[in-house]
Amino acid sequence: MKRLENLFVALNGWALILMLSAMALIVGYNISLRYLTSHSLPWADEAARYLMIWLTFSGAGLILRVGGHVAITNLQDVLPRTGHRLLRAAIVVILLIFFGFMVHVGWQYAQRMQYQVTPALRLPFLYVYAAMPVGFTLLILHLLLIARPFILAGTYKPLGTADTDDNTLPGGADG
């Protein structure tokens, strides 16, 4: 199971690297072209914008898994150890419900936009708006993979590996 998790995390990370690289190359090439020839690619800004949307939604799960999202721990800090676990379990359940709802809403919205096309690239907006359900599905998978150590000890997965559970972030440890 850990090998599958490592593969999943690696593939998610490589997808982000490829999208960011493509975005940097497109923007860099367009800037060079604009200054060297006084012309630019009509689709470059649009492609970079859509890659940024995909990067944001696709990367949220990896950030969640290492505890990189904003967290307010005041309530958790005043609760006893059992209260910590119950609160974190409730947070996981609420997040799973919310992420599932957003997959549903995102998919509906993407389907509604499938017949409209982007101005420059002429791609169906379905491909742009699909970032939302795909990203929230990735959030669900990442959350399920870290839920147990998070609920029991307030730990997150260390950046770069899915194998160890010994990275505790400030405010999330109970000892």
> Token match 């992420």: residue?
99
Residue 58 lies in a domain: yes
Q: How many CB atoms lie within 10 A of CB 108?
A: 12
Can you give the pTM of this predicted structure?
Answer: 0.85
Query: Which are the contacts of 93, defined by CB distance < 8 A and separation ≥ 6?
Result: none
* CA angle 87–92–93, rounded 5-degree value: 95
Q: Which domain holds residue 158?
A: 2-168
Residue 98 lies in a domain: yes
The predicted structure's pLDDT at residue 126: 97
Residue 71 lies in a domain: yes
Output helix, strand, coil percentages for the chain, rounded to the nearest 5: 70, 5, 25
Per-residue pLDDT of the chain (175 residues; tens, 9 = 90+): 899 999 999 999 999 999 999 999 999 999 999 999 999 999 999 999 999 999 999 999 999 998 888 888 888 888 898 998 999 999 999 999 999 999 999 999 999 999 999 999 999 999 999 999 999 999 999 999 999 999 998 877 776 554 444 444 444 444 3
The predicted structure's pLDDT at residue 175: 37
Residue 175 lies in a domain: no
Query: Which are the contacts of 170, defined by CB distance < 8 A and separation ≥ 6?
Result: none
Q: How far apart are CA 81 and CA 22, in angstroms?
A: 46
Residue 51 lies in a domain: yes
Q: How far apart are CA 95 and CA 143, in angstroms?
A: 8
Instruction: Point out which residues pair with 84 in neighbouring strands.
Output: none
Two tokens at 21?
């690289």
What's the domain count of the chain? 1
User: Exposed/middle/buried for 155, CB within 10 Å: 0-12, 13-18, 19+?
Assistant: buried
Q: How far apart are CA 167 and CA 126, in angstroms?
A: 38
Residue 174 lies in a domain: no
Residue 25 lies in a domain: yes
Residue 45 lies in a domain: yes
